[in-house]
Amino acid sequence: MECTAEADTWVGSAPGKLILFGEHAVVYGQPAIAVPVTGVQARATVTGGEAGSGVWLVCCDLPPCEDRGLLPTPDGGAPASGCRYALRGAAADDPLRGAVALALARFSDAERGISGMEPDIVLTITSTIPIARGLGSGAAVATAVIRSLAAYFGRQPSNDEVSGLVFEVEKLFHGTPSGIDNTVIAYQQPVYFVRGEGMTPLRVGSPFSLVIADSGAPSSTREVVGTVRQRWHAEPQRYDALFDSIGAIARIARRHIETGDWRSMAGLMDENQALLEQMGVSSPALDRLIEAARSAGAVGAKLSGAGRGGCILAAAERHAIAAVSGALRSAGAAQVLVTEVA
Ligand code: PMV
């Protein structure tokens, strides 16, 4: 399987993302804060295909198709040759198919149906973003695909347009996404996000470092968001109060980030984590990593994303980063990344 693209290529890429404050509550209208994580990336490359071939997808550097979770399995089974398959054979709810179809409808000249005038191209997708870990892999892959197809058709969509298209893809497999993932990833900058209010850039008064640790356990956003919704229906007052408290924390955290007081912001991570625990979205593995980070000197730590699995983040002084990273590895983290917020 050819995993490198040659001449006449059109490329799109996108970073991962990390939610600092406000996950879950953001679905219910509260503000949230997220930043791009540029140390991990999704990349899509378009090259010309054989005449009459239509669109072929080649997914390199991704787990085997049958294990990909958020990514598609063509025809409901593992493909004959790695992760190479024709768009025509992809399942109707395949998010990659969704991203390609939306991009073709928006960027190709005529209103061409996906099975009608498909271009003859090969779309090669690579990603270093761990899947289903709260780092925005699905939105980043969709963003990279949409940007590469826009380039192929000679278009230069705005960040807002890309974000809107990725949001449509997110709805295919997340159910009720707030829109924070597509926004922070399409704009590639820190955002203060309120559902339905579009993008508000977040000014970072003084750069700070975050340590991200992957628990190694997948987290299904759709499932966890669905569970929180059921609980909210069962105990509306209790959950509304939790969402309100988280929203209040996100508003204060925004001020601390803008004024460069990241240590006070880090303290709020602990408060946000306590509320996420009360909401029932943490897990023993996440709690263990958070405790390890705090014991090794992190100023604050919390889970990030939907929870139950996925990643935690910890804010630490620069001189403590190595110790915090080491403690997280010793506590069982599958991967540790350090990212700078600026
Ligand atoms: O798990 P992730 O990275 O997809 O983040 C989900 C964030 C939630 O607030 C739980 C859901 C949403 O749509 O905002």
Summarize pLDDT for 129-171 with one digit per residue, the tens. Answer: 999 999 999 999 999 999 999 999 999 999 999 999 999 999 8
Rounded to whole angstroms, how far apart are CA atoms 287 and 295?
Answer: 12
In tens, the pLDDT along 216-229 reads 999 999 999 999 99
Q: Is residue 47 domain-resident?
A: yes
Amino acid making up residue 81:
S
Beta carbon of 180 within 6 Å of any ligand 1 atom? yes
**Helix, strand, or coil here: 239?**
helix
In tens, the pLDDT along 193-222 reads 999 998 899 999 999 999 999 999 999 999
Q: DSSP letter at 327?
A: H
Please tell me which residue in 67, 93, 109, 181 is annotated as part of the active site.
Answer: 181
Q: Is residue 67 domain-resident?
A: yes
Q: Which atom of ligand 1 is nearest to the CA of 24?
A: 9
Rounded to whole angstroms, how far apart are CA atoms 222 and 290?
Answer: 24
Q: Is residue 1 domain-resident?
A: no
Could you tell me if 317 and 173 lie in one domain? no
Rounded to whole angstroms, how far apart are CA atoms 61 and 15?
Answer: 16
Rounded to whole angstroms, how far apart are CA atoms 152 and 84?
Answer: 20
- pLDDT band for 84, please (50, 70, 90 cuts): confident
Q: Which atom of ligand 1 is nearest to the CA of 135?
A: 3
Quick one: pLDDT at residue 92? 79
- pLDDT band for 62, please (50, 70, 90 cuts): low
- Choosing from 183, 200, 217, the residue where a domain stops is 200
Rounded to whole angstroms, how far apart are CA atoms 208 and 317?
Answer: 8
Quick one: pLDDT at residue 108? 87
Question: Are the C-beta atoms of residues 221 and 305 closer than 8 Å to each other?
Answer: yes
Beta carbon of 178 within 6 Å of any ligand 1 atom? yes
CATH number for position 330:
3.30.70.890
The DSSP H or E segment spanning 217 is none
Give the chain's domain count. Answer: 2
Q: Is residue 133 domain-resident?
A: yes
